[in-house]
Structures are given as structure tokens and as C-alpha cells.
Amino acid sequence: MVTTMDEKQTTNQPLLSVKGLKQYFRLNNGFFSEQVLKAVDDISFDIQKGETLGLVGESGCGKTTAGRTILHLYQPTAGEIIFNGKPIRTKKEIEAFRTKATMVFQDPYSSLDPRMTVSDIIGEPLDVQHLTAKGKERTDRILELMDRVGLNSEHATRYAHEFSGGQRQRVGIARALATNPEFIVCDEPVSALDVSIQAQIINMFEQLQEDLGLTYLFIAHDLLVVRHISDRIAVMYLGHLVELGDAEEICKRPLHPYTKALMSAVPVPDPNIARASKRIALSGEIPSPLHAPKGCPFHTRCPHATDQCKESMPELKEAEGGRLVACHRTAEVN
């Protein structure tokens, strides 16, 4: 069978494309004055079907805002979200997109309504999207979702406050799966959990991806978790992407100075390797997005910064091995 060019393009088409995404918030300072907070400032990337893209960076760098803006929980200031080759723009397109794209939130204690039973929480997306009939069909679907995430049928009539953190997050994941999504934004889904529970939830995410063909944007600040679950990693700093590439390659040989500092802080279980490795300590505080520096956003903390870095923003462009790096001096410092 001969494959046409159009079929090849369809096969290689990303499930999700983010192009020039910006999310600015206008803050009222009183006396008719405003400031603009550039939480996400012109980021672009693709995610292939069945892939996990890890999005990492310090707290406040814009990771969560990026995830929420992609799902149109915030109206994008600029840029384009393309899902399965179709731009998401109109209200009707956003509503259709939300049946195929959903989110698992960070805090299982605040993301579940304490007045609703587990059955009501998981069944709510089914009701909103009119995916099942009332009665037995709805109940069977809820019990199926509970079983998939490791919850027992007797949990259905209980309330969220009766569960542990790990069980609550399982309820949140079951709710996210209710609409049969293709794409899930995982917003630091294990950061509020005990380490032993984290491993169980991460393994469940991997099993769900294998069973259901899911695609993830996995937002986290724990680099060990991100390295384990991700196919590729995108590193974010002050609203910008500074490096993007294969997860193992980025962890073994980071190219951007900020990524190097991040990776040097990852604990190593082997004491001999840990003693031999050198921690890169960054001087200074991360600038406020309200007063972002001109030029490269990292130049105020970068040991390799030059006058060019202070004046012009580096483009995210291809370096070695298909890696994308936003640095004027990539070739010189590696």
C-alpha cells in the first residue's frame, strides 16, 4: 500500500501545537494606574500523540498559567492553540476541545467540592457534556472510572474529606478521565502527596497512558519525577522557554545555563557521584514578572552573561541533536 504525502503529514501531525502563546495580567495599582504581569511570554511547542512533555521551572515561572491558558481556563492574551490540526478560537471550538482535553489539579484537598459525594464529583463531567443517560448507564460508567483508578465501589457515596490525599487525587484523575480525553494537563499532580504515594500515582499515570493512549503535559518542579515520566522536557524561566529536548539528553547534558543549575540541584542516590558532582549556585533573586529585565530574562543571574544578553532576547533555536535552546552563547559555554 502506497502512503500519500497528505497521509504522512496527518500521521506526523502533533496532537497539540502551541504557537506564540502569551498570557498577560493587568494589575490595578490605584489612582488609574496599571501594571502588566507577563506570566507567559511568547512560548511555542508541539506535543505528539501518546507523548509526555514535562514542563519544569522555579515557582512563579508561569508553568501552571501556561497549562491553564492552553485549556482556555484563562483567555490567551495572544497566540494560538491548535488541537488535532484545528485552531481553538470560538466558544463552540473551546467547548468541543474541553471534551478531549482536561486537567488534573495540584491540590486534591481544594480541587474537590466537599459538599459532593465521589459519585457526584466523577459524574459531573458526564452530566455537563451529556455523555451518558441517567440511571444505570451513568452509575456503571462512574464505577468503571473508579475501578480504573484503584477506588472501590463502596467509596462512591463517601465525601472527599473522608479520604487520604492519594485517594482524593485518584478521584480527581477519575473525574479527568470521565469525558474520554485524549490530552491531559497534569498540574503538579503529586507535589502535595507523600513520597510513597507519589510513586503509586506516577505509575498509574503511566499505565493509563498505555491503556488509553493518553497524551500529557506534565507540569512539575520535581526533576526526578519529570525525568521518570517524560519523553521530552521543556524548561521555563520567567515566562519564557529556555530549553526543550529529549528528557534523558537534557538531564545528562543540559545546554542552557539555567537548565545546568536546575540539574545540578537534583539529588543523586550514589554518595560517590554526589560528592564528585558540583552544585551550581545562582546568585541573586529571580526577577519579578512585573519588572522583567530587558534582553535575556536570565542574564541577571547568569555567570556567562554579556552585553548582548542584556540588550536582546535570544531566540529558541536548534542546537546539537535537535535540542532547542534560547541562549546567545550556547556554542561558547558548552
What does the pLDDT look like over 155-185, one tens digit per residue?
999 998 899 989 999 999 999 999 999 999 9
pLDDT tens for each residue of 255-303:
999 999 998 877 666 666 656 667 777 777 778 888 888 899 999 999 8
Strand partners for 185: 103, 217
Name the residue type at position 147: D
pLDDT, averaged across the chain: 88
C-alpha 180: how far from chain center: 19
pLDDT surpassing 60 at residue 134? yes
Question: What pLDDT, on a 0 to 100 scale, did the predictor assign at position 2?
Answer: 40
Cα separation, 122 vs 131, in Å, equals 12
* Of 95-99, 127-131, 142-146, 248-252, minimum mean pLDDT range: 127-131
pLDDT band at 129 (very low <50, low <70, confident <90, very high): confident
Question: What pLDDT, on a 0 to 100 scale, did the predictor assign at position 273?
Answer: 61
Q: What b-and-e string marks burial along 266-297, b requiring 16 or more CB atoms within 10 Å of the CB?
A: eeeeeeeeeeeeeeeebeeebbebeebeebbb
Cα separation, 58 vs 68, in Å, equals 17
pLDDT surpassing 90 at residue 133? no
pLDDT tens for each residue of 307-322:
999 999 999 999 877 8
Helices (H) and strands (E) in the chain, counts: 13, 12
Tell me the whole-structure pTM to 2 decimals: 0.90
CA atoms within 13 A on the CB side of 183: 25
Contact 116, 199 (CB under 8 A): no
Contact 171, 189 (CB under 8 A): no
pLDDT surpassing 70 at residue 5? no
Cα separation, 102 vs 137, in Å, equals 22
pLDDT surpassing 50 at residue 233? yes
Question: What pLDDT, on a 0 to 100 scale, did the predictor assign at position 1?
Answer: 37
